[in-house]
Amino acid sequence: MLGKLLASPLLTFNPTASFCPFSQHDLAGTAAASTPGHVKSSYIVPVNHISDTRFCISTSKKWKLHSTAQIDNQVLNDEEKKMWDSCRQALSSFKFSVEEEDKILGKAFGYIHTPYWYEERKKEVPQFETVNEILDYLRSLNLTDDDLCKVLKKFPEVLGCSLEDELKNNVQVLSKQWGIEGKTLRNLLLRNPKVLGYNVDCKGDCEAKCTRCWARF
């Protein structure tokens, strides 16, 4: 009886509504109410009417994570989607989930707002060559893939920074002014990778760009 009820074409689901699948209690009650000779009517139960919401809560959390991390396909054309997918491939060695890859790229290239950029970062479709060049440069600083995984989680915006004007320049500053290089540099980057993106030195006269200022160092 239950199998027939679930297969009924009259039981429909509107994907745009915030409803939850049946709990076992609700299904049993619905099946008991349906008797031969009566027409089976559609029966959708809102989330706030379900006593056993464990499944609903789990699904909701998963949906929120997915919707936050994933980039809406409608904002990218076919060519841009290919570019985005190739950049995912550049991150594949770090064993991130698709949602994590999208979140990293989204924060680095302006699709997900972060305080780091203020309002400076415009949306830009990432390019495989750019992402790869930055990852290769970071590896040249004695960072392993495990290290890079930690750096990208702490500071995903690094992929959207300028390789020449910020990353390479800042590494030179650290070396020349503080003698930080080699293992000391590696340890610093694991602790505070944002130093790679500093591009302001207020020297006591605040420019209201604290997330990118050397005063934080």
**pLDDT one-digit tens code per residue, 144-178:** 999 999 999 999 999 999 999 999 999 999 999 99
**What SS3 class is residue 201?**
coil
Same domain, 54 and 133: no
> 117 vs 73, which has greater pLDDT?
117
For residues 201 and 156, membership in a common domain is answered with yes
Residues 118 and 203 in one domain: yes
User: How far is Cα 167 from Cα 174, in angstroms, rounded to an integer?
Assistant: 11
Between the ranges 8-12, 68-72, 78-82, 202-206, where is the mean pLDDT highest?
Answer: 78-82
- This prediction has a pTM of 0.64
Same structural domain, 26 and 100 = no
Could you tell me if 107 and 196 lie in one domain? Answer: yes
Shared-domain flag, residues 167 and 122: yes
pLDDT of residue 76: 86
Mean per-residue pLDDT of the chain: 74
104 and 83 in a single domain? The answer is yes
Of the residues 10, 43, 66, the one at which a domain ends = 66
How much is the average pLDDT of 70-89? 83
Residue 106 pLDDT grade (very low, low, confident, very high; cuts 50, 70, 90):
very high
Residue 160 CB neighbour total at 10 angstroms? 23
Residue 4 has pLDDT above 70, yes or no: no
Q: Tell which of 66, 101, 120 closes a domain.
A: 66
Long-range contacts of 69-78 (CB under 8 A, 24+ apart): 69/99, 69/100, 69/102, 69/103, 69/106, 69/112, 70/98, 70/99, 70/102, 71/102, 71/105, 71/106, 71/111, 75/111, 75/123, 76/125
Same structural domain, 111 and 133: yes
The C-alpha atoms of residue 105 and residue 124 are separated, in whole angstroms, by 10
Contact status, residue 107 vs residue 156, Cβ threshold 8 Å: yes
Residue 79 confidence (pLDDT) above 70: yes
pLDDT at position 116: 86
Q: How many structural domains are present in the chain? A: 2
Domain residue limits at 31: 2-66
One domain for residues 94 and 109: yes
What average pLDDT does the segment 43-49 reach? 41
Give me the CATH number covering residue 153. 1.25.70.10
Where residue 200 falls among pLDDT bands split at 50, 70, 90?
low
**Is 99 in the same domain as 43?**
no
Instruction: Tell me, yes or no, whether 93 and 177 share the same domain.
Output: yes
* Of 36 and 124, more confident: 124
Last residue of some domain: 13, 42, 66?
66
